[in-house]
Amino acid sequence: MSREEMDTLGWDSCDIVLVTGDAYIDHPSFGMALVGRLLESQGFRVGIICQPDWNSAKDFKQLGKPNLFFGITAGNMDSMVNRYTSDRKTRSDDAYTANAEPNKRPDHAVTVYAQRCREAFPGSNVIVGSIEASLRRIAHYDYWSDKVRRSVLPDSKADMLIFGNAERAVVELAHRLAKGEKISEIRNLRGTAFMVPRGWLPSDEWSVMDSTEVDTPGPLVQHTDPYADTSAGAGNAAAPEPKAGEHVVRIVSRAERTAKLRKARANVAVRLPSYEQVKEDPVLYAHASRTFHLESNPGNARTLIQGHGERDVWLNPPPIPLSTEEFDGVYELPYARRPHPAYGEAKIPAWEMIRFSVNIMRGCFGGCTFCSITEHEGRIIQSRSEDSVIREIEEMRDKTPGFTGIVSDLGGPTANMYRLKCKEEKIETACRRLSCVYPDICENLGTDHTPLISLYRKARALKGVKKVLVSSGLRYDLAVRSPEYIKELVTHHVGGYLKIAPEHTEEGPLSKMMKPGMGAYDRFKQLFDRFSREAGKEQYLIPYFIAAHPGTTDEDMLNLALWLKKNNFRLDQVQTFLPTPMALATTMYHTERNPLRKLSRDGEQVGTVRNARQRRLHKAFLRYHDANNWPMLREALKEMGRADLIGNGKKQLIPAWQPAGTCGAGVGASGRGQPLKTGQIQKPLAAQRTGQRPLRQAIKPVAPRGRAPARKP
């Protein structure tokens, strides 16, 4: 991290310099550490510049010019998600910074850092990566500026973008550059993207297929009406000439389309609508998004091309997932498993959260439309071996300061997808589904939880390990396929509370999220409660829900609020939908079209929640118990014709009275809240629940003072 450390090591220069928006934590949960240690294991000298001052090029010069390339990352999170809330307000802290200090990274950090590296050392190779670059590799809607932005490649002026899991690409790239190849000649690495002249192809063997031959989003050619009167003087029914700039799509026969799809995919590139087209046309944007996601399986994905002015963004197919042995090797590199000593005693919240956790897998085949895991890590699950996980727990036990015998999490993006995969590799390679579990669990998906049960048992049997918790979110529709797993989990690995994410109760928003209905939740809860009783434990589910997701109406949120009240849930921390780049739900938000189906000009419209007042209202429904939300909810219920839900009965949502000191309350001489109408002052809701367990006892959150645990950053 410094010239002094380079001198100690006897280095006159670094081969590779990684620039990151995070504090440096030498742990495999942090991307810059994982990539840095991997490159080190290949014999390269790696420097890391953390959270540099981006207002000048000074900090970018501190380790000198790298011999091979600069590797640019915004950090473990997208810089815009890291810095702003879903209401576009600046966050007051940063979990990936020492002492949670905010404003230590710029907006669109990948672009800014890359430009500063160019300024510091003109002529250096600049490679961009991380989740921020992955999710911006093509033209994308940017929620914070409310416009469609170009790919990060032309804006950052980087030589190459590495997307997804970068291990294979970054190692091969480093070795090829070290052998003297020019970066402008390295064009065949999977998982990479770069800029090329418009119309460029690697060789004459390549051909280009327009994306509209796979999907048909535009206005159809108006063919001659066979019943029209074509006699003299009759109107000409022939198809009119397209207007200037109009996007006309030819109907392709099934036989012709099948023949094209059967062509060798290795040398076929699919041309997406250009940046200029998707910027102006929401339907073409939705079409490009749909095509992009359909071309995401490494087994059958084709190269994608998207025009940006006079040049093209060229995207090679996604990387091949790591084998178990390769994955083990990456996670068993010699990490210090702690922050760099330069931070002294400073607390880094993200490190505090994961310091006693172990990652056992990556990827997610759930395909939830609001989530970016699939776009970045892929749908194919990469799992570590049981022995590798056990060795990491032992190393954590022996080397990590402060370990008390509690493993805080044994999981990953999803707690229970470990070792789950397609029953046949041939089927997996050919599959183009967006989700393996929606609308139903695919019959070809293996759902055997036995390997995970075995891992849990061996982990908790280790000497010095008192308890192994599972804190990652659980996919409960998969878990109900294995009651034995639920019993194992509930009996031994739940610390009183288990996080699950139904996200909603109503079919409208659930269908746009690609999430299962509440039937799966109900079945899981029955098993959870049953096995908790059998274990003699009082344990609770902590459900997460999303407000203002595309496809959600005010009535949907009202029904969700009524479900929460009926089931005695009082949510403290709730999530309002945040449109992240390239997610399918973001496409719905921007275009008001549904990319989960074939698109057409007159296709399905998706309602979106855009204005701030309605977004606040949807959030208020999730926190119906908060008196500060009652005035807004009363007004909304009256507008919806549901004033019958205002009152003090058990089946009513909010009371008619307003406590003193809360939003909209007036205070009389007695200090009590003034009634909305004469005679409507009522006792607090809790005081009416005679004979019932108070809500705060019905659901006991993990953190103190009634706060539910936050999701991981």
pLDDT digits (tens, 9 = 90+) for 553-562: 999 999 999 9
Cα 441 to Cα 418: distance, rounded to the nearest angstrom: 16
Query: Residue 259: pLDDT band by 50, 70, 90 thresholds?
Result: low
- Per DSSP, 164 falls in state S
User: In this predicted structure, what is the pLDDT of residue 212?
Assistant: 84
pLDDT at 352 over 50: yes
User: In this predicted structure, what is the pLDDT of residue 111?
Assistant: 98
Q: What is the mean pLDDT of the chain?
A: 88
pTM for the predicted model, two decimal places: 0.86
- Average pLDDT (133-151) is 97
Q: In a 10 Å sphere around its CB, with 0-12 CB exposed, 13-18 middle and 19+ buried, how is residue 559 labelled? A: middle
Query: Residue 673: pLDDT band by 50, 70, 90 thresholds?
Result: very low
pLDDT at 641 over 90: yes
pLDDT at 83 over 50: yes
- Average pLDDT (7-32) is 97
Query: Residue 256: pLDDT band by 50, 70, 90 thresholds?
Result: low
**Domain locations in the chain as residue ranges:** 3-197
C-beta pairs of 570-574 under 8 Å, 24+ apart in sequence: 570/625, 570/695, 570/696, 570/699, 570/706, 571/543, 571/545, 571/622, 571/623, 571/708, 572/623, 572/701, 572/706, 572/707, 572/708, 573/707, 573/708, 573/710, 574/545, 574/547, 574/619, 574/622, 574/623
pLDDT at 488 over 80: yes
pLDDT at 697 over 70: no
For residues 284 and 278, is the Cβ–Cβ distance under 8 A? yes
- Per the rule left: phi > 0, alpha: psi between -120 and 50, beta: everything else, 367 is left
pLDDT digits (tens, 9 = 90+) for 642-667: 999 999 998 999 999 999 988 764 33
Backbone angles phi, psi at 514, to 5 degrees: 60, 50
Look up tokens 């967006």; give the residue: 434
Question: Which of the listed CATH numbers 3.40.50.2300, 3.40.50.300, 3.40.50.720, 3.90.25.10 matches domain 3-197?
Answer: 3.40.50.2300
| DSSP-assigned beta bridge partners for residue 357 | 409
- Average pLDDT (303-313) is 97
pLDDT at 202 over 50: yes
pLDDT at 594 over 50: yes
